[in-house]
Amino acid sequence: MESPPDALAWDSPDSGSAALRAAKDIAFGSIAGMISKVFEHPFDLTKVRLQSQVLDSTARFSGPVDCLVKTWKNEGLRGLYRGLPAPIVGAMAENASLFVSYSEMQNIIRLVNAQPLSQDLSLLQLGLAGAGAGAITSFFLTPIELVKCKMQVQMLIPTTAATTISSSHTGSGATASLSSPSIPRNLPGPISVFMNVFRTTGFRGLWLGQTATFIRETGGGAAWFASKEYVATQLMKRRAKASGTSSSKINRKDITPMESAISGACAGAAYNFALFPADSVKSAMQTEEELRPRAKGAPGATFFGTFKEMYRAQGLRGLYAGAGVTVARSIPSSAIIFLIYDGLSTRFS
């Protein structure tokens, strides 16, 4: 299979050792992920809180702005960054896994199709590689997102539930109510939340919402990488044409910071909008124990069961709760990721 005639001459996949390439992907992906997560966390918290209230009889927030304002007013800056340690770790794991897996999936595709390692892949093949990378990453990501989501709704838990949870972790009862956020509360941290899930549901319980995460990451990974590669290629070809340079003489390390940012921004929007309902179902499942606990002995939540409940409750609007703020924050966040990743890759190539 020949490369598309208008494809850019990307760097050869076999340049340098595989171990060194993987190490760079891990390091650069981790750095990019951490920085972007600090920027986007308040918006991610807003998304999770909006998603978690879809099945509630009474909504706590009327929309993303209302959620941000109330969180700031009642919980302050600390509230906006509640649960940040978990997504910081998650961002490191997610982006490192994504970029390493994406690179290796491309090589697997070349191997299956008997293509030389130096040959560029078609856009469809790049999308397939992105889907594979997302599928692999989902297994690392689910436990981390489970802890993150549970921490992001801690201040929304009814007083009695909050007291029980706090007592189980700290050995002392929580005396503050949700209506009195100024009173000190002893809320469990990420390790305590993780251990509580493990003690109550076992190892398997850490992957609650895995089906939803798998669907979101597989489709999202394909959209993320394919969109980035397509837009970046078009921007670089346009620049080459404007300067009278043949596109065949442009390779990946020639991408400019602006091209990285623009293509990354487009990728972020495509990723988050592609399969957002799956993310909504995941958030609802992972916060159900705190906000809508089931009767003892009742069957646990399932992906399709929760999906049907959310659709019956609010239709497509409920499944896309928080989509606006998520897509809006993903545009600059994804731009930051690729700006940093491409910049580091170019600098240390």
Q: Which of 103, 171, 113 is nearest to 137 (CA)?
A: 103
| pLDDT recorded at residue 116 | 87
Scanning the chain, the segments in alpha helix (DSSP H) are: 18-52, 64-80, 85-112, 123-152, 159-170, 190-205, 210-243, 257-274, 276-286, 288-291, 303-319, 323-347
Domain limits, the chain: 18-347
| Average pLDDT of the residues in 327-346 | 91
Asked whether the beta carbons of 330 and 40 are under 8 A apart, the reply is yes
Percent of the chain with pLDDT over 70: 86
Q: Which of 32, 44, 31 is nearest to 81 (CA)?
A: 44
What is the chain's mean pLDDT, rounded?
83
The answer to whether residue 258 scores a pLDDT higher than 90 is: yes
Lowest mean pLDDT among 16-20, 119-123, 228-232: 16-20
Q: How far apart are CA 316 and CA 290, in angstroms?
A: 24
Neighbours of 234 (CB within 10 A): 15
Amino acid at 332: P
Q: What is the pLDDT of residues 76-97, one digit of tens each?
A: 888 888 778 877 887 888 888 9
- Confidence (pTM): 0.77
The Cβ-side half-sphere exposure at 87, using a 13 Å CA radius, reads 22
Helices 210-243 and 257-274: crossing angle, nearest 10°? 150
Buried b (16+ CB within 10 A) or exposed e, 269-288: bbbbebbbbbbbbbbbbbbb
Dihedral over alpha carbons 333, 59, 56, 168 (to 10 degrees): 70
| pLDDT recorded at residue 179 | 41
| Average pLDDT of the residues in 186-199 | 87
| Average pLDDT of the residues in 112-139 | 92
The Cβ-side half-sphere exposure at 88, using a 13 Å CA radius, reads 9
Architecture of the domain whose range is 18-347: Alpha/alpha barrel (1.50)
